[in-house]
Chains A and B, each alone.
Chain A
Amino acid sequence: MNKKIVLSVKNISKSFSGTKALSSVDFSLQKGEIHALMGENGAGKSTLIKVITGVYKYDEGEIHIGERKICNHSPQEAQENGISTVYQEINLCPNLTVAENLFIGREPKRMGFINWKLINQKSEEILRNLNIEVSPTQMLAECSIAIQQMIAIARAVDMRCKVLILDEPTSSLDKEEVEKLFELMKHLKKEGVGIVFVTHFLDQVYEVCDKITVLRNGKFVGEYETDKLPRVQLVAKMMGKDLDSISNIKGERKEFSGKRIPFIEAEGLGHQGTIKPFCLAIHKGEVIGLTGLLGSGRSEMVRAIYGADKADSGKLKVNGKEVKIHAPIEAMKLGMGYLPEDRKRDGIIADLSVRENIIIAMQAIRGMLKPMSKKEMEEAANTYIDLLKIKTESRETPIKYLSGGNQQKVIIGRWLLTNPQYLILDEPTRGIDIGTKTEIQKLVLELAEKGKAVTFISSELEEMLRTCSRMVVLRDGGKVGEIESDDLTQDNIMKTIAGGEQEND
């Protein structure tokens, strides 16, 4: 056996109540290697990771760490065996300091008391070694998401892990933060840590990974050297089909040509502390994109329009009439719908069924005293499960058991059911496989064709360029520009986003 291999997984199978989530999957990781684990939603990436880290028991197969066969029953046991995981959602305590988070559960003690001095000292060392610029005594909640993520990694590394699993660590980071994270990963790689990197971003895979393992429908597709596998090939392997369906969407974007009838007109609308007053008109039948770096105020802008954050300045006209929106329900009654950015926190109602999740917005509009009948609910749910091709065992399955992409589709279905005149989609494609992304993009264009106004927010410029006919650029919590028709190029947008530095000079 190759001495350099730190983790090898052989023939792992796992099924959940009859459905196979993994069937004879192989995976091997070498010392000092960054290994991407790729696959669409439902390919079995998360399941594989949970099997490796002992969250799930596997049905068949073997897991080796180095030469030793192991069987993890819990994440703690996996940690003792040298496998640490950092999840997309950070599992640290925001109300504790950085140092406390680094040492929680394994505090150095002196005579039974926690040795705070030593903790802070050691933390400083760890942070310095990994080039993380933060003070050990700072509260974690005050750190940016990126720093929090790095602290989670630092904690894992300090526990002498041989294998570090990063489950979509970059999905909530902006470009600069991702760079910092990559530096850290490369640093760890030099020290001989094997890193498993799960991500949806192809660019990132090609930037840092040595090898790629692709899964599809719970099956092992193959292991490849990154520089010998062209991107197109990788995408094809993940999707298991030709690329036509992806490239199709190009050219579908039509210039917005109809008569410009504004649906939303904001004049100096703003919300103290989140979005500076802005002016914006959104027309019927138009897809307008909001772009900018993370934290630039994209979400905050739509939240102010929708009434999720009650606007404290300016005027808002909907369909030509001036309105004051105090709560989302009023916006909904005016014909708006809002798919929030954080699906888990603001979108799904985890324990409720797919059916209830679909009808809830419609029910809220109708009011408490006019409940939808069982038949109406079932019809509505069936319609959108079919229309959006939602993969779910049944209409009554709790939404929490669905994959991320399907959860997102349920929420889209929830809003389509209310037949909104203006639909806000905040990062509808984040953390979603390419197939579903394409479907969502097509849907957006269809909505616009039917005369609805759509606002589309995405971190992926390319995707926005394909769907939007006009783009609003934001920076530091304010609107800085609008780009449309022929000027709408990646180059122009980048320049507008970056524009601030030139002004400052």
Chain B
Amino acid sequence: MIEKVGNRKHCYKKITERRLFMPLVCLFIVLLANVIKTPDFFKVSINNGVLYGYTIDILNRGSELIILSIGMTLVTAASGGQDISVGAVMAVAAAVCCQILSGGAVTTNTFENPLIIAILAAFTVSILCGMFNGFLVARLHIQPMVATLILYTAGRGIAQLITKGQITYIRVDNYKILGGYIGSCPVPTPIFAAIMTVIIVFLVIKNTALGLYIECVGINGSASRLVGLNSAMLKFLTYIICSLLAGVAGIVASSRIYSADANNIGLNLEMDAILAVALGGNILSGGKFSLAGSVIGAITIQALTTTLYAMKVSADQLPVYKAIVVIVIVILQSPIFKKYAAGLVSKRAAEGIEGAN
């Protein structure tokens, strides 16, 4: 009997000590609440040849957030700070892309320039934004939050300048594919975009030593230098990756509304991305990281937002409810609470032993 209780305790410890345990529990709780509230939550049906359902909606709407949170995870791990300019960079990328496509006009019904050139230009501008952030953080040692505050405030202004203060519309069906559907494929394209991003970044990290280097620099910069790592270069690189991914997210977001709305694309999304990183069990002060955790975190946040909309909470009040849920989730993941929970379990196990005797 004692052995059995001991085993159970051991098992519990083994499971709870997994890094992804808490993030998954949080996601599970949010989903559970949904199922109770709306029994057909997991129902997926096909209407007009496309998939419909809450889960599809969450993944679809959460695509940009997932893409952003991947970049945010890398920046956080390497520099121990966050890039708060990603939302603004999304707007800049969208503006560049749409402006090139429309050839400077406010609205267009045909591509004035090839799509590929517009997208490459948007990526280039995103990378430039990343280089700017990275230079400030890695070379000038400015705190990440302060360094990226510059583009956070200036970014949308730059986007406005590019679109000359207008919302540029691209009324071409081909442009709507990225934010809509590919041909008769029933799965929304943004989901593919998110999956592709995750897979590419994951493969890069798995097939190079980049992940190890980033963790190393994030944990101890001084020791990393002495074992031959170029910590400035690595930080610089993560900011570039982060901004590039923001550019990808920006184009997806712009394709959804087939326009470049400099004021609203990616608005407040940087905060959600940071939250996704934190919910994923990553330490915001840098070091070890888990991409899977951040993806789960991003899905959790989007599930929460969708749930609240489904419960007819108005957009203005949304942040309040979101904050309440976030508080609960963050407390659940805090080390003090984890210790407390572990204490409860071992107490229970001890009582079990006594009872057996």
Contacts and interface: CB of A to CB of B under 8 A. Distances in A.
Interface of A: 308, 327-329, 332, 338, 340, 345-352, 356, 360-361, 363-372, 414
Given A360-B212, A360-B216, A369-B208, A349 B225 contact: no
13 contacts: A308-B226, A327-B225, A329-B229, A340-B223, A349-B215, A349-B216, A349-B223, A352-B212, A360-B212, A360-B216, A364-B213, A371-B208, A371-B209
Given A352-B216, A371-B208, A371-B209, A364 B229 contact: yes
Contacts of A328: 225-228
B2 to A, nearest CB: 15
Interface in B24-43: none
A111 B222 CA distance: 45
Contact of A349 (B207, B224, B228, B230): B224
Nearest to A415: B227
B220 A350 contact: yes
A503 B246 CA distance: 66
A351 B227 contact: no
A188 B219 CA distance: 40
Contact of B230 (A327, A347, A370): A327
A363 B223 contact: no
A308 B225 CA distance: 8
A80 B288 CA distance: 37
A347 B223 contact: yes
B87 interface: no
B247 interface: no
Nearest to B288: A351
A369 B237 CA distance: 14
Interface size class of B (residues with CB under 8 A): 20 to 34
Interface in B275-309: 287-288
A365 B228 contact: yes
A352 B226 CA distance: 16
Which of the listed residues B212, B225, B227, B287 has the most CB atoms from chain A within 10 Å of its own CB? B227
| Interchain residue pairs A-B with the least CB separation, the first 7 | A364-B228, A329-B228, A371-B209, A361-B227, A332-B228, A349-B220, A368-B209
Interface in B87-137: none
A352 B219 contact: yes
A361 B213 CA distance: 11
Nearest to A331: B228
A368 B213 contact: yes
B208 A346 contact: no
Nearest to B225: A328
Given A328-B228, A363-B212, A369-B208, 6 more contacts: A338-B226, A340-B226, A347-B223, A352-B216, A364-B213, A414-B227
Interface in B222-257: 222-230
Contacts of B220: 345, 348-350
A468 B19 CA distance: 48
Given A351-B287, A352-B219, A368 B226 contact: no
Nearest to B283: A351
A504 B213 CA distance: 50
Contacts of B267: none
Contacts, number: 74
Which of the listed residues B207, B209, B219 has the most CB atoms from chain A within 10 Å of its own CB? B209
Contacts of A329: 228-230
Contacts of B187: none
B332 interface: no
A328 B226 CA distance: 6
B162 interface: no
B227 A364 contact: yes
A188 to B, nearest CB: 35
Contacts of B222: 345-346
B56 interface: no
A347 B219 CA distance: 12
B225 A356 contact: no
A477 B229 CA distance: 28
A345 B224 CA distance: 10
A364 B287 CA distance: 17
A351 B288 CA distance: 7
Given A328-B225, A346-B226, A363 B219 contact: no
Given A371-B207, A371-B208, A371-B209, A350 B219 contact: yes
Given A327-B225, A327-B230, A340-B226, A352 B208 contact: no
Which of the listed residues A348, A349, A361, A363 has the most CB atoms from chain B within 10 Å of its own CB? A349
Which of the listed residues A348, A350, A352, A372 has the most CB atoms from chain B within 10 Å of its own CB? A352
A311 to B, nearest CB: 16
B210 interface: yes
A351 B80 CA distance: 14
A401 to B, nearest CB: 14
Contact of A360 (B208, B227, B230, B287): B227
A346 B229 CA distance: 13
A419 to B, nearest CB: 14
Contacts of A327: 225, 228, 230
A348 B209 contact: no
Given A368-B208, A371-B209, A352 B215 contact: yes
Contacts of A367: 209
B186 to A, nearest CB: 38
Contacts of A347: 223, 226
Contacts of B229: 329, 360, 364
Contact of B219 (A338, A351, A369, A414): A351
A62 to B, nearest CB: 22
A345 B220 CA distance: 8
A361 B224 CA distance: 9
Contacts of A364: 213, 227-229
B340 to A, nearest CB: 14
A349 B224 CA distance: 8
Contacts of B225: 308, 327-328
A210 to B, nearest CB: 40
B147 to A, nearest CB: 22
A420 to B, nearest CB: 12
B228 A368 contact: no
A370 B219 CA distance: 22
A356 B212 contact: yes
A338 B226 CA distance: 8
Contacts of B209: 363, 366-372
A351 B213 CA distance: 13
B223 A345 contact: yes
A223 B339 CA distance: 37
Which of the listed residues A332, A345, A371 has the most CB atoms from chain B within 10 Å of its own CB? A371
